[in-house]
């Protein structure tokens, strides 16, 4: 294709503002799919994505559009994931394009993820085409939102296009704006190959499929390619585009976006953001800004039924085929048996993996409290990265501990400002900025990630009745007064419940957990102390009183089969109990106690 007739753009939006619906419309208008094929949203293909209405993997589609000027243009549309956990994937897909289509719901206005994504686009000098979506809704206020985009984001929105992705109004104008406002890509077909690895996934028929954006040179079947970060070389065996169906093509030239396969075994062998070149004739330097994906949140995953351990291992391997951004290694816990320590990009990522294990692999799992990565500076001058509170070195060998901090952007209606401020303060937040746009407040806070991974999203949603939106960026590591809080049941520490907390929160957290466990652990024939302790110092304590009378005395008569059933049930229940200092803790108690966080 001629460079002048190519337009590459990303669609950016806050969750639910209609990005996928608009993408579908554009595809449909360009004749990429028939109405029947459109029935299901094509871009959000994974079942969970569809159900939760979130886009996890960035997808791309090549469209042919005959514009009003009579020319036919190639439009490469990239869908970007909307959620903060996948910010790095967003930044890569943006870098593969020259412009962004900014979709703002005209009834909701600018939200936290609108801002985060649009600033990334502006940073890399994207031409931004704003779109006011959902104008068919009675609550839509396109003029007010137009002003809001100018006030809050600071871009010219005078030509923002009013659209209804639902009815199709304004879609033609969007296509025209893409052609007339966005710049064509630049590049030189005669230079050595330089392409960006934008994404990769596992296809059961084709193996690993790699999404690429060619900058310079040409990618062809048979060429031996080299990935610059790892040095790995593979002969390319397929080159194609998504129209949106996979369609083979001869080659991909400068400015083009498409896919290749090259006999790559695992998605883990490809790094998003890496530069692909030709082994024989490599380009001089790689594209800037590549970084390998890094886990931010860790937790233990244990099978509720120990017999499922191998099944869990297989399932994790299968999931990793398609998602190289989560990692796992075997771990064992006295309380929970054998399982895996897993690392994720963020809380949503954790939830998605957990849900897929449950849904697609039928696994009943226990998840330990999520933990961030701490940097433990030891008195001998060495540094240890701590992913699991249970592995914390002896406090006497610790000089100090650093924890990750984030910069969070929160947007909310001002009537909820008070409670959100309180929430942020309770979580050790430091207010950086408070501004208003109409009756919406925009807050910028620095917060320790450790306070956010617990239940911050849920609390934020509940104190703002669902109206606050949230986005964050990792900022830096800072020293913190962090201590390991241990939970002891009948004087025995329960490893699965250990956590690192700020000293100021230790007592409250400890008391909460003790109270919770008290209700969850069944009474026994003796008194059971439940304690929360920092080192040897107990900071909270509850006691489960002993059983006084024979509970079975209440049972009477009844038929034999019912009794036998009850006994069998009891037997099964007992199998699921874990013994702690002669105290039997039902599995459910662990789950409930861990859920509390
Ligand atoms: P993510 O992919 O999760 O970021 O969400 P999204 O931005 O792609 O939103 P999606 O396209 O899934 O739309 C969210 C909801 O808004 C869906 O229920 C759509 O049917 C609805 N919607 C999208 N566009 C319009 C519109 O123009 N008018 C109306 N009334 N509803 C719309």
Ligand 1, pocket-test mutation among 14, 15, 21, most atoms within 8 A of CB: 21
Does the annotation place 44 within a ligand binding site?
no
Neighbours of 37 (CB within 10 A): 13
Q: Tens digit of pLDDT for each residue in 42-66?
A: 554 555 544 544 444 547 889 999 9
User: Does any ligand 1 atom lie closer than 6 A to the CB of residue 162?
Assistant: no
Task: Judge whether residue 114 has pLDDT over 60.
Answer: yes
Q: 53 C-alpha vs ligand 1 centroid, how far in Å?
A: 9
The minimum-distance atom of ligand 1 relative to the CA of 49 is 3
Instruction: Check residues 296 and 565 and name the one with the higher pLDDT.
Output: 296
Report the chain's C-alpha Rg in angstroms: 27
Q: Which of 103-137 are b and which e, b meaning 16 or more Cβ less than 10 Å from the residue's Cβ?
A: bbbbbbbbbbbbbbbbebbbeeebbbbbbbbbbbe
What's the pLDDT at 353? 87
Pairwise CA distance, residues 111 & 152, whole Å: 10
The minimum-distance atom of ligand 1 relative to the CA of 82 is 4
Does the annotation place 99 within a ligand binding site?
no
Pairwise CA distance, residues 593 & 226, whole Å: 49
Q: What element of type H or E holds 476?
A: strand 469-480
Instruction: Check residues 526 and 111 and name the one with the higher pLDDT.
Output: 111
Task: Judge whether residue 82 has pLDDT over 80.
Answer: no
If phi > 0 it is left, if psi is from -120 to 50 it is alpha, else beta; for residue 337 that is left
What's the pLDDT at 568? 67
Q: 528 C-alpha vs ligand 1 centroid, how far in Å?
A: 53
- Burial class from Cβ neighbours inside 10 Å (0-12, 13-18, 19+) for residue 304 reads middle
Does the annotation place 349 within a ligand binding site?
no
pTM of the model: 0.75
Residue 321's beta-bridge partner residues? Answer: none
Q: 19 C-alpha vs ligand 1 centroid, how far in Å?
A: 6
Contacts of 347 (CB under 8 A, 6+ apart): 85, 297, 370, 452, 453, 457
User: Does any ligand 1 atom lie closer than 6 A to the CB of residue 82?
Assistant: yes
Residue 469's beta-bridge partner residues? Answer: 411
User: Does any ligand 1 atom lie closer than 6 A to the CB of residue 591?
Assistant: no
What's the pLDDT at 277? 96
Q: 20 C-alpha vs ligand 1 centroid, how far in Å?
A: 7
pLDDT band at 273 (very low <50, low <70, confident <90, very high): confident
Residue nearest (by alpha carbon) to ligand 1 atom 13: 18
Ligand 1, pocket-test mutation among 10, 15, 18, most atoms within 8 A of CB: 18
Q: Are 352 and 48 in contact (CB under 8 A)?
A: yes
The minimum-distance atom of ligand 1 relative to the CA of 167 is 27
pLDDT band at 326 (very low <50, low <70, confident <90, very high): confident
What's the pLDDT at 597? 45
User: Does any ligand 1 atom lie closer than 6 A to the CB of residue 170?
Assistant: no
Q: Are 20 and 12 in contact (CB under 8 A)?
A: no
The half-sphere exposure of 342 on its side-chain side, counting CA atoms within 13 A, is: 33
Q: 59 C-alpha vs ligand 1 centroid, how far in Å?
A: 17
ipTM above 0.95, yes or no: yes
What's the pLDDT at 105? 96
pLDDT band at 546 (very low <50, low <70, confident <90, very high): confident
Pairwise CA distance, residues 55 & 49, whole Å: 6
User: Does any ligand 1 atom lie closer than 6 A to the CB of residue 104?
Assistant: no
Q: Name the nearest CA neighbour of 404 among 498, 293, 507, 297.
A: 297
- Residue in the structure block whose two tokens are 């569809």: 50
Mean pLDDT for 277-300 is 87
User: Does any ligand 1 atom lie closer than 6 A to the CB of residue 106?
Assistant: no
Q: Are 578 and 354 in contact (CB under 8 A)?
A: no
Q: Are 335 and 497 in contact (CB under 8 A)?
A: yes
Does the annotation place 226 within a ligand binding site?
no
User: Does any ligand 1 atom lie closer than 6 A to the CB of residue 185?
Assistant: no
Ligand 1, pocket-test mutation among 12, 20, 104, 133, most atoms within 8 A of CB: 20
Instruction: Check residues 84 and 265 and name the one with the higher pLDDT.
Output: 265
Q: Are 446 and 407 in contact (CB under 8 A)?
A: yes
By residue count, the chain amounts to 597
pLDDT band at 16 (very low <50, low <70, confident <90, very high): confident
Q: 63 C-alpha vs ligand 1 centroid, how far in Å?
A: 21
Residue nearest (by alpha carbon) to ligand 1 atom 29: 134
Residue nearest (by alpha carbon) to ligand 1 atom 28: 134
What's the pLDDT at 569? 63
Share in percent of the chain as helix, strand, coil (round to 5)? 30, 35, 35
Task: Judge whether residue 557 has pLDDT over 60.
Answer: no
- Residue in the structure block whose two tokens are 């002993």: 546
Ligand 1, pocket-test mutation among 24, 43, 53, 167, most atoms within 8 A of CB: 53
Q: 260 C-alpha vs ligand 1 centroid, how far in Å?
A: 31
pLDDT band at 305 (very low <50, low <70, confident <90, very high): confident
What's the pLDDT at 496? 81
Residue nearest (by alpha carbon) to ligand 1 atom 18: 16
- Burial class from Cβ neighbours inside 10 Å (0-12, 13-18, 19+) for residue 491 reads exposed
What's the pLDDT at 44? 46
Task: Judge whether residue 491 has pLDDT over 70.
Answer: yes
Pairwise CA distance, residues 30 & 64, whole Å: 6
User: Does any ligand 1 atom lie closer than 6 A to the CB of residue 55?
Assistant: yes
Calculate the average pLDDT of the chain.
85
The minimum-distance atom of ligand 1 relative to the CA of 53 is 3
Q: What percent of the chain has pLDDT over 70?
A: 86
What's the pLDDT at 134? 97
Q: Are 335 and 577 in contact (CB under 8 A)?
A: no
Q: 242 C-alpha vs ligand 1 centroid, how far in Å?
A: 22
Ligand 1, pocket-test mutation among 12, 15, 16, most atoms within 8 A of CB: 16
Pairwise CA distance, residues 146 & 591, whole Å: 47
Task: Judge whether residue 334 has pLDDT over 80.
Answer: no
The minimum-distance atom of ligand 1 relative to the CA of 163 is 27
How would DSSP label each residue in 393-448? PPGGGEEEEEEEEEEEEEEEEGGGHHHHHHHHHHTT-EEEEEEEETTEEEEEEEEE
Does the annotation place 271 within a ligand binding site?
no
Mean pLDDT for 265-271 is 84
């Amino acid at each position: 294709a001629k460079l002048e007739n190519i337009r590459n753009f990303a669609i950016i939006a806050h969750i639910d503002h209609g990005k996928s619906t608009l993408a579908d419309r554009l595809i449909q208008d360009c004749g990429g799919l028939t109405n029947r094929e459109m029935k299901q949203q094509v871009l959000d293909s994974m079942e969970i994505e569809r159900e939760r209405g979130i886009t996890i993997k960035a997808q791309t589609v090549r469209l042919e559009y005959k514009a009003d000027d009579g020319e036919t243009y190639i439009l490469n549309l990239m869908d970007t994931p909307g959620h903060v956990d996948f910010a790095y994937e967003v930044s890569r897909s943006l870098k593969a394009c020259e412009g962004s289509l900014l979709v703002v719901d005209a009834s909701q206005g600018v939200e936290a993820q609108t801002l985060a994504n649009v600033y990334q686009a502006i940073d890399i000098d994207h031409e931004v085409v704003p779109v006011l979506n959902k104008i068919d809704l009675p609550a839509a206020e396109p003029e007010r939102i137009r002003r809001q985009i100018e006030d809050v984001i600071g871009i010219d929105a005078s030509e923002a296009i009013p659209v209804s992705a639902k009815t199709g109004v304004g879609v033609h104008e969007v296509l025209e704006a893409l052609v007339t406002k966005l710049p064509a890509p630049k590049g030189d077909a005669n230079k050595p190959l330089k392409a960006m690895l934008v994404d990769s996934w596992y296809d059961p028929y084709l193996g690993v499929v790699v999404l690429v954006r060619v900058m310079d040179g040409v990618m062809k079947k048979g060429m031996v390619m080299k990935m610059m970060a790892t040095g790995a070389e593979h002969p390319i065996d397929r080159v194609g585009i998504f129209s949106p169906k996979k369609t083979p093509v001869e080659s991909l030239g400068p400015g083009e976006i498409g896919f290749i396969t090259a006999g790559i075994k695992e998605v883990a062998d490809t790094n998003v953001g890496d530069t692909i070149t030709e082994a024989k004739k490599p380009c001089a330097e790689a594209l800037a800004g590549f970084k390998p994906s890094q886990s931010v949140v860790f937790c233990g995953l244990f099978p509720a039924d120990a017999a499922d351990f191998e099944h869990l291992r297989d399932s994790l391997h299968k999931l990793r085929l398609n998602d190289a951004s989560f990692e796992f290694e075997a771990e064992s816990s006295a309380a929970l048996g054998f399982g895996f320590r897993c690392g994720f990009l963020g809380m949503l990522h954790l939830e998605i993996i957990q849900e897929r294990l449950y849904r697609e692999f039928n696994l009943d799992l226990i998840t330990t409290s999520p933990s961030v990565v701490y940097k433990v500076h030891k008195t001998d001058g060495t540094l240890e990265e701590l992913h699991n509170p249970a592995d914390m070195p002896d406090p006497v060998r610790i000089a100090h501990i650093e924890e990750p901090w984030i910069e969070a952007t929160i947007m909310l209606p001002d009537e909820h400002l008070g409670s959100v401020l309180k929430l942020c303060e309770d979580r050790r937040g430091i207010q950086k900025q408070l501004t208003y746009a109409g009756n919406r407040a925009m807050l910028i806070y620095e917060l320790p990630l450790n306070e956010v991974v617990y239940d911050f999203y849920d609390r934020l949603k509940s104190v703002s009745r669902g109206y606050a939106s949230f986005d964050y960026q990792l900022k830096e590591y800072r020293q913190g007064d962090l201590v390991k809080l241990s939970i002891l049941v009948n004087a025995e520490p329960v490893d699965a419940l250990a956590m690192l907390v700020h000293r100021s929160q230790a007592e409250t957290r400890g008391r909460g957990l003790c109270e919770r466990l008290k209700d969850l652990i069944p009474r026994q024939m003796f008194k059971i102390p439940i304690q929360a302790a920092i080192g040897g110092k107990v900071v909270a304590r509850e006691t489960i009183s002993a059983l006084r009378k024979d509970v079975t005395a209440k049972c009477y008569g009844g038929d034999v089969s019912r009794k036998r059933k009850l006994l069998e049930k009891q037997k099964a229940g007992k199998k699921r109990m874990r013994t702690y200092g002669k105290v039997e803790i039902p599995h459910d108690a662990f789950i409930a106690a861990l859920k509390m966080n």
